[in-house]
């Protein structure tokens, strides 16, 4: 029994590790693909060299990010079977088709047009090249849609039937399976998060180069575009996040109560615990700093509304409270910092200091990784908050794993950790090196490469862009 438990814990750690690492890359490539599409559109419309140069600059970064997203993503599609075979067998008829649609409508679209996008600039016309960029960007969004539909079904399952063998099979309507209660909120919240993450990363790169050379047109342009994005999207994300939270309270109340640290019910309105140390053994939050009534005001939009507590639920259904309590606060804290940065940039823009205020640039630089941290923290909140179930309320995590011995899972976990830190560590280092290079110091585009009848040499072509 103990051995089984260990294998489950190891399999969970393995999934958490591989998916967290993976998620960083699509969160960036979803945003970057759309950004590249906008840059290319602006270039085609205005003919200004600065857009072409920025397009080339971010394309190199995109290709490294995308490559890492692909290889870490292939791992995910097999993790279900290797470590979670019982889950796959039981839920496969319902979420399998959603993932199959993701492959057919998104992965092939991205991969099919990526080659042309990266290497085909001089092989096809501008229009076709732009089409390829659009298809890649569209592919990233379609991919997010399907995978979040699958994830949302695991969070708020609906539209299925349960067989006598405990297998989930589709009910009469696929619509009900795809559009589950949490799906619209989750999709919007996640895609906005990807855009915000990208805006902050682009903004940080712009800020870095502005701190060195305030006149660089590429740095100015990318910083300005990124700050517009942050200023517009961060407030929207706060509202969407609030709506997502209300939705979660309705469908997964135990998750919200764990996030809030409310072990006991609050019949006269719940406080908001800002900080504290949750202790699930004793079912209380030590050293809590709280604001009375604010919890109910946020969750019910009424300061006196009653809220249940975790003690209203069986203890074996509680998610790990401390993890979601903290991961949620990290996400929200960073979210408000992003909002602050966006507002500051608007103020600077209004006062004509966008390109000159050194402290704004420093702040934007520091906030560069904030999106990635917030995205991972948010993902941890929603996934750990789903525990102890894989299919919420219906299939327990402890009953979902493969019939594997703990040493096998432990060995593969170590292999993943070593390989990921090494391979993706190197990749992140290369990304930082690419970002450290300033964009073209002027608006002149590099001369288009001579078109040779005998084909092209794609990789040196991108390598040549470095110069």
Partner 1 sequence: MESIDLTVVWALIIGFAVFAYVVMDGFDLGIGILFPTLKVGEERDQAMNSIAPVWDGNETWLVLGGGGLMAAFPLAYAIILPATYPLMIAMLLGLIFRGVAFEFRWRDPRHRAFWDLAFTAGSVVAALSQGIALGAILQGIRVREGAYAGGWLDWLSPFSLLTGVALLTGYAALGAAWLNWKTEGGAQSHARRMVHLLVPAMIAMLIAVSAATPFLNYDYWRRWFDVPGVLLTAQVPLLVAICAFVLLRSLAAGAERLPFLMLLALFLLCFIGLGISIFPYAVPRSVTIWAAAAPPRSQSFMLAGAVFIIPIILAYTGWAYWVFRGKVGTHGYH
Name residues contacting partner 1, limited to 73-102 (CB under 8 A). Answer: 73-75, 77-78, 80-82, 85-86, 88-90, 92-94, 96-97, 99-102
Q: Does 414 bind partner 1 (CB under 8 A)?
A: no
Kindly write out the interface string for residues 31-70 of this chain, putting x where it contacts partner 1 by CB under 8 A and - elsewhere: --------------------------------xx--xx-x
DSSP state of 354: T
Say how many C-beta atoms besides its own lie within 10 A of residue 344's C-beta.
Answer: 18
Q: Taking CB under 8 A as the criterion, which residues in 132-171 touch partner 1? A: 167, 169-170
Structural tokens at position 79: 């993790």
Q: Considering the complex, what minimum distance in angstroms separates the CB of residue 127 from partner 1?
A: 14
Q: Does 119 bind partner 1 (CB under 8 A)?
A: yes
Q: Considering the complex, what minimum distance in angstroms separates the CB of residue 26 from partner 1?
A: 14
Structural tokens at position 209: 């180069």
Among 25, 107, 326, 328, binds partner 1 (CB under 8 A): 107
Structural tokens at position 193: 């998060």
Q: Vertex 68, ends 66 and 74: CA angle to 5°?
A: 100
Paired strand residues for 395: 391
Question: Could you tell me which of 68, 61, 69, 67 has the C-alpha nearest to residue 26?
Answer: 69
DSSP state of 398: G
Q: Taking CB under 8 A as the criterion, which residues in 316-375 touch partner 1? A: none
C-beta closer to partner 1: residue 105 or 224: 105
The span from the CA of 168 to the CA of 45, in Å, is 51
Q: Does 71 bind partner 1 (CB under 8 A)?
A: yes
Kindly write out the interface string for residues 419-438 of this chain, putting x where it contacts partner 1 by CB under 8 A and - elsewhere: xx--xx-xx--x--xx----
Among 126, 174, 214, 421, binds partner 1 (CB under 8 A): 174
Q: Considering the complex, what minimum distance in angstroms separates the CB of residue 129 from partner 1?
A: 10
DSSP state of 265: -
Structural tokens at position 258: 């764990």
C-beta closer to partner 1: residue 39 or 118: 118
The span from the CA of 305 to the CA of 269, in Å, is 5
Among 291, 306, 432, 459, binds partner 1 (CB under 8 A): 459
Q: Does 446 bind partner 1 (CB under 8 A)?
A: no
Q: How many residues of this chain interact with partner 1, rule: CB under 8 A?
A: 83
Q: Does 116 bind partner 1 (CB under 8 A)?
A: yes
Give the 3-state secondary structure percentages of the chain, helix then strand then coil, rounded to 5. 70, 5, 25
Contact 61, 436 (CB under 8 A): no
Using DSSP's 3-state secondary structure scheme, residue 70 falls into helix
């Amino acid at each position: 029994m103990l051995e089984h438990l260990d294998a489950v814990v190891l399999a969970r750690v393995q999934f958490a590790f591989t998916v967290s690492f993976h998620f960083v890359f699509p969160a960036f490539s979803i945003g970057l693909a759309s950004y590249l599409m906008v840059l290319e559109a602006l270039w085609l419309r205005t003919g200004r060299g600065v857009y072409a140069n920025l397009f080339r600059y971010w394309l190199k970064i995109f290709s490294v990010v995308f490559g890492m997203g692909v290889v870490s993503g292939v791992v995910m599609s097999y993790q279900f079977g290797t470590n979670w075979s019982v889950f796959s067998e039981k839920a496969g008829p319902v979420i399998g088709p959603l993932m199959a649609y993701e492959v057919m409508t998104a992965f092939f679209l991205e991969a099919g047009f990526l080659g042309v996008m990266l290497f085909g600039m001089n092989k096809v016309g501008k229009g076709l090249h732009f089409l390829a960029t659009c298809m890649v960007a569209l592919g990233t969004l379609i991919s997010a849609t399907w995978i979040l539909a699958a994830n949302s079904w695991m969070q708020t399952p609906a539209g299925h039937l349960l067989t006598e063998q405990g297998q989930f099979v589709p009910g009469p309507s696929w619509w009900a399976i795809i559009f589950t209660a949490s799906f619209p909120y989750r999709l919007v919240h996640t895609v906005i998060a990807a855009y915000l993450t990208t805006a902050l990363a682009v903004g940080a790169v712009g800020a870095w180069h502005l701190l060195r050379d305030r006149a660089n047109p590429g740095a100015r342009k990318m910083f300005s575009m990124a700050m517009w994005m942050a200023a517009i999207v961060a407030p929207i994300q706060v509202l969407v996040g609030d709506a997502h939270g209300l939705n979660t309270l309705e469908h997964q109340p135990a998750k919200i109560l764990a996030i809030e640290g409310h072990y006991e019910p609050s019949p006269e309105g719940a406080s908001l615990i800002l900080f504290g140390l949750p202790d699930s053994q004793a079912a209380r939050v030590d050293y809590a700093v709280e604001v009375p009534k604010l919890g109910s005001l946020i969750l019910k939009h009424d300061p006196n509304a009653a809220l249940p507590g975790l003690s209203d639920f069986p203890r074996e259904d509680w998610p790990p409270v401390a993890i979601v309590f903290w991961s949620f606060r990290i996400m929200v804290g960073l979210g408000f910092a992003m909002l602050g940065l966006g507002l500051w940039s608007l103020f600077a823009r209004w006062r004509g200091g966008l390109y000159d205020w050194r402290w704004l640039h420093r702040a934007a630089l520091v906030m560069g990784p904030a999106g990635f941290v917030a995205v991972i923290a948010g993902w941890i909140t929603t996934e750990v908050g789903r525990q102890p179930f894989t299919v919420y309320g219906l299939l327990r995590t402890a009953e979902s794993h493969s019939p594997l011995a703990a040493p096998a899972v432990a060995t593969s976990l170590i292999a993943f950790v070593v390989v990921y830190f090494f391979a993706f560590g190197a990749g992140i280092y290369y990304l930082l090196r690419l970002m450290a290079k300033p964009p073209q110091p002027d608006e002149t585009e590099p001369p288009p490469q001579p078109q040779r009848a005998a084909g092209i040499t794609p990789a040196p072509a991108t390598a040549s862009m470095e110069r």
